[in-house]
Structures are given as structure tokens and as C-alpha cells.
Structure 1
């Protein structure tokens, strides 16, 4: 019985850090965006979040997009927002997590960074 409790406690101590967590982002337009990109600001300057798994991640905000992890460790995927195809990119470098959305038509960019204070 004691061994079972110890094993369960050990498993839970490892499972907690591995559990998926929602990472909040506030996206901002890139200063080099074309003036026509301003029409997209209403869709992107709002609360977004990323839930990261081992090989996939899910972006939630104005739309929900599934991302796949590439060999370089970067999560990417595409989705439609306001009838425009967007490329979503998520990078987790440990302390710094970055969500970037790029328009396929004009190359407009909205990006947000979330710093993990636990890894200062």
C-alpha cells in the first residue's frame, strides 16, 4: 500500500509540469505593416491564448487553429480570419514564448510575447 501511494505521488509530481497550460497573449501590429493592414487590427488586438502539447498546440482567440510542431521545435498552422488566410507561428524558448500571425495576402504581422516569470 505504501509503495502504491509513493508511486502515485511520484507520478503526480512529474505529471503536473507536463500538463497543458493556457498561455495568454496580447498581439500588437508590426510597425512596418502596410497601412491596409490596419483593418485587421480589430481582429488581432485582443486576448489570444496558446495551449501547448508535445507535438501540437492550439491557438484560441478570434478563431481556433491547430498547430503542428516542426523539426525545428516551432509550431505552425494556418487558419482563416475575416476571410483571409493567416499563418500562425508559436515558439516556446523556455522563458520567452512568442505568438506570431502573418497574413498571406499583404504580409501583415501581429505578434505578442509572454515571458515565463518562473524561468527568470
Structure 2
């Protein structure tokens, strides 16, 4: 069974993303990135990405990811805060340590294309 289905499919991951974004939008470090944004749309996109990644291990095109994020000018500290919130929420949601580590490893692999460099 894949990780997306293992924890309850779309319902589980949608609830998970609701918790993640409740934390992100109140975090002093990253909330500026979400002010005035359509959070529901962002969560829908991420739910789709989670499904692609956790079901079929599809590689998300890094050049598209970099292009999408470059105008956001996300710092390394902001990226680390996002990872920290994600990790905390995975733990709180009952995702096993082994699965948490795998998911965080996948997310962390996007650091080079998400973090803004001068």
C-alpha cells in the first residue's frame, strides 16, 4: 500500500494540510508568504502533489518548481520553518517515524529549487 492510502487517502491528507496551513499562516517566519493568497487553492495543488508523490513517486519537474517559487524569495530559514511545521504536523497526525523521515527527505530535496539565492 502506498503512503497516500496508508493513512486514509485524500481525507487524511486534506486534514493534514489544513493543520499545516493553520500553522504556516500564523508563523512569524513565513506568514508573509500567505497573506492575500488563496490558501484553499494552494492546499488543493499540494494535495495533488502529495498524491502524485506518495502514490507513484512521480518526480516533480525541478525547473518548473524553481520558476514557480523564485518570485517568492523564500529564505533558507523560511524553508526550514516550513519543514519544521510539516514534520511537527506529520508527528501529531500519527504518521510513523519511518514514513515521516521519508516524506521530510522528499520535501527537503526541493530546497535547492525553492530557496531564493541572490
* TM superposition score normalised by structure 1: 0.31
Greater share of helix residues, 1 or 2?
Answer: 2
Kindly indicate which of the two structures has a greater share of residues assigned to strand.
Answer: 1
Q: Normalized against structure 2, the TM-score is what?
A: 0.31
| Structure with larger Rg | 1
